[in-house]
Amino acid sequence: MPGRVVVKFRDGASTAQRLAAVASAAPAASISSRPSYADFDVVTIGANADAESVAGALASRDEVEYAQLSYRMRPKFKPNDKYYADQWNLPIIGMESAWDIQPSAGSTITVAVLDTGVAYTNVTLDFRGTAFTVDSDGDIGPPSGAGTRYPALGPVRLSFVAATELGPSTRFVAPHDFIWDDDTPVDMDGHGTHVSGTIGQLTNNASNGTGDTRNGGGTAGVAFNVKIMPVKVISTQWDDIFLSPHVGTDDVVARGIRYAADNGAKVINMSFGENGDSSPVLEAAMRYAVGKGAFMAISAGNEFEDGNPTEIPTSIANRINGAVSVAAIDRARNHAYYSNTGAWVELAAPGGSFRGFDSVGGVLQQTLDFGVVETYLSPPSQFTAPRFDALAYIYYTGTSMAAPHVSGVAAMLMQQGITDPAAVEAALEKFADDLGAPGRDDTFGFGLINARRTLLGLGLAK
């Protein structure tokens, strides 16, 4: 469909001047007869022309008073989910207008969530719990380790539940667990389920009989029609207690990246990291995935107040067109106090903060109820087997929460036909809201993602 630019020429501009201005800005453009009730003219440009560039070129001319894109006015789509009013993070990136632009919300795109697993299926599994210790940082160690000693649970049979707000089961494709070497990547933590919710929680389902009917649809997600590929590459406390054969080392993550790319993922979200600036095995896997057509969003790290170290894989992303590192902002659009900064930060998105805000300062999604998951935080005398069959709506904060916003918008952009990962990155960066120092900076990168502007953008190579 041809684009249109509205132009107001200054009084006294001749017809010849007007035609020359239009021809200079866009050689193939045409200016129509002035419409009724208008003191402006309408310039029609080609479908592949960059309307913003044409408007900018016209606005810079002396004979032009103003020039702007001809925006289509739409009613804003506001989800009816019960807790949507507490999801400040979605309106702040322009999601309501973006959903109007692209109602399919990524329906043909698969997003791989490389994480702690996802609550995607109802299943019962057997484990054996060993004795362990918990140190002052909450890390699990061997029975002889430093810290508080906990007894062995022995054989346990545990039920896992599918998150109602991530259903139906047909949304999930090619699940795989690289921690347990099987095809059942269940979440024993809640992190991966929460991340998946921001990417693609069911939306506007308060009364259609799907999702969390008991809570009126619960919460909304960015690209609420995407397919989700759960890929477990991160081990957490219960994986350690149950003696999983693998932990989340960089070689395990690299295998997960290649698996996602080989099995049809067009977006890969990685909300984790470790101190360092080099990992050849990770970088090779990331380049492989981008080369296969997968865009990657990676959290920037949460250690700003702990020395602000460089982390991988986020620092690698800056070297790869089609992979981005994502910093976090709080509800006031300021730098989230924990969010790492550095020359490798490329974009910012809502990560939330409880510092200076009430509980609504976090990012809200449905996930596992950590009150019955994290039983290892109880005194040893009260220690019991965990439960993974209970769900809750929980506010999380962190750059882990920021990255999935970018993944969701990237999926929607790909749905519109911008499929080259490098072009996706370019669009997200070009149309971001500049925050902090003018231009790219070490805190926000190119700025806060703007879903509406990104989905309206034209002229970038597909």
Identify the pLDDT of residue 73: 62
What is the amino acid identity at position 184? Answer: T
Residue that terminates a domain, selected from 15, 37, 69: 69
Mean pLDDT of the chain: 93
Range of the domain at 47: 3-69
Residues 61, 140: one domain? no
Q: Which residues contact 349 (CB under 8 A, 6 or more apart)?
A: 93, 326, 327, 328, 329, 402, 403, 405, 406, 448, 449
Residues 48, 89: one domain? no
Identify the pLDDT of residue 461: 45
pLDDT bucket at 459, cuts 50 / 70 / 90: very low
Identify the pLDDT of residue 74: 59
Average pLDDT over every residue of 249-258: 97
Please answer whether residues 68 and 55 qualify as being in contact, where contact means their C-beta atoms are separated by less than 8 angstroms: yes
Please answer whether residues 344 and 314 qualify as being in contact, where contact means their C-beta atoms are separated by less than 8 angstroms: yes
Q: Virtual CA dihedral for 337, 112, 273, 119, nearest 10 degrees? A: 80
Q: Choose between 279 and 67: higher pLDDT.
A: 279
Residues 117, 38: one domain? no
pLDDT bucket at 460, cuts 50 / 70 / 90: very low
Q: Choose between 4 and 71: higher pLDDT.
A: 4
Residues 60, 107: one domain? no
Please answer whether residues 260 and 112 qualify as being in contact, where contact means their C-beta atoms are separated by less than 8 angstroms: yes
Q: In sequence order, what E strands does 252-379 have? A: 267-270, 274-275, 295-299, 311-312, 323-329, 347-350, 363-368
Residues 105, 22: one domain? no
Average pLDDT over every residue of 407-413: 97
Give kind and range of the element (H or E) at residue 404. Answer: helix 399-415
Residues 199, 260: one domain? yes
| pTM confidence score | 0.86
CB 416: neighbour CB atoms within 10 A? Answer: 17
* Three-state SS at 259: helix
Classify residue 404: in a domain, yes or no.
yes
Identify the pLDDT of residue 1: 53
pLDDT at 462 over 60: no
Task: Give me the residue label for tokens 């990104």.
Answer: 454
Residues 52, 162: one domain? no
Q: Would you list the DSSP string of 414-442?
A: HHTT---HHHHHHHHHHTSBP-SSSSSBT
Residue that terminates a domain, selected from 18, 42, 69: 69
Exposure class string for 427-456: b at 16+ Cβ within 10 A, else e? bbbbbbbebbeeebbebbbbbbbbbbbbbb
Task: Give me the residue label for tokens 């300021």.
Answer: 334
CATH number of the domain where residue 47 is located: 3.30.70.80
Q: pLDDT by residue (tens digit) across 155-179? A: 999 999 999 999 999 999 999 999 9
Classify residue 75: in a domain, yes or no.
no
